[in-house]
Every structure is written in structure tokens, then in C-alpha cells.
Amino acid sequence: SFSAVAVCRAQVQQEPSAQTTEGTGINITCSHPNIQTDEVIHWYRRLPGRGPAFLMSIRKDSRALTDLPGWLVVAADRRSSALWLTEPRLRDAAVYYCALRA
């Protein structure tokens, strides 16, 4: 089965883990209630045995991912964001995490 593990940071909170079956969409959420106006939301993933790889940066609204099928969506108040993987494959099993940076 496909699984995603989230890493906690001081500025952001994420679910400890999430899993789905191959081909079934999954929503990986990130809470950042104290986000500042100038901060940008960055998402990364770390595949097994690899270093972290940048996925996408976003300020607001939503954007289609470039490297895998899905979307990055930001709540209207910017206090949370979500990585929506529409067709996850076994090869997408990884640690997914978000970070804030001005």
C-alpha cells in the first residue's frame, strides 16, 4: 500500500502518517496557523534512500503539480495547505513535508 509520513516542525503541524491504496487519491494536509503575510509555503518529499526533493512553492489558491498527478491547495485564510495526489503509485510512497519561508 502507498503511505505518506509527515514530519513535524515548529511552524507547521502535519498528520503523523497517511496511507491509501495504489491509484486512490490521498490528501496530505499541513497546518500553519501562524503564517505571516510574507511567508511562502514550500512542499518537499523524500523518497526512501534519497534526500529531500523540492515539489512546489505556493502563496495562495491552488496549482497543479508538475512532477506527479495532483494539486497543491491553500486554504482561503492561508492557515493550512494540502497536497492532493490524485493517482498515487507505489513509487510515490515517501515522506511528504511542508515548510514556511519568507
Classify residue 17: in a domain, yes or no: no
pLDDT at 85 over 80: yes
Domain count for the chain, please give it.
1
Q: In what order do the strands lie in the sheet with 40-46?
A: 17-20, 2-5, 94-101, 40-46, 53-58
61: containing domain: 40-101
Q: Where are the alpha helices (DSSP H) in the chain?
A: none
The CATH number of whichever domain residue 58 belongs to comes to 2.60.40.10
The pTM is what?
0.85
CB atoms inside a 10 Å sphere around CB 81: 24
pLDDT at 15 over 80: no
Query: Which of 66, 98, 65, 64 is closest to 79 using CA atoms?
Result: 98
Mean pLDDT of 56-83: 96
pLDDT at 11: 73
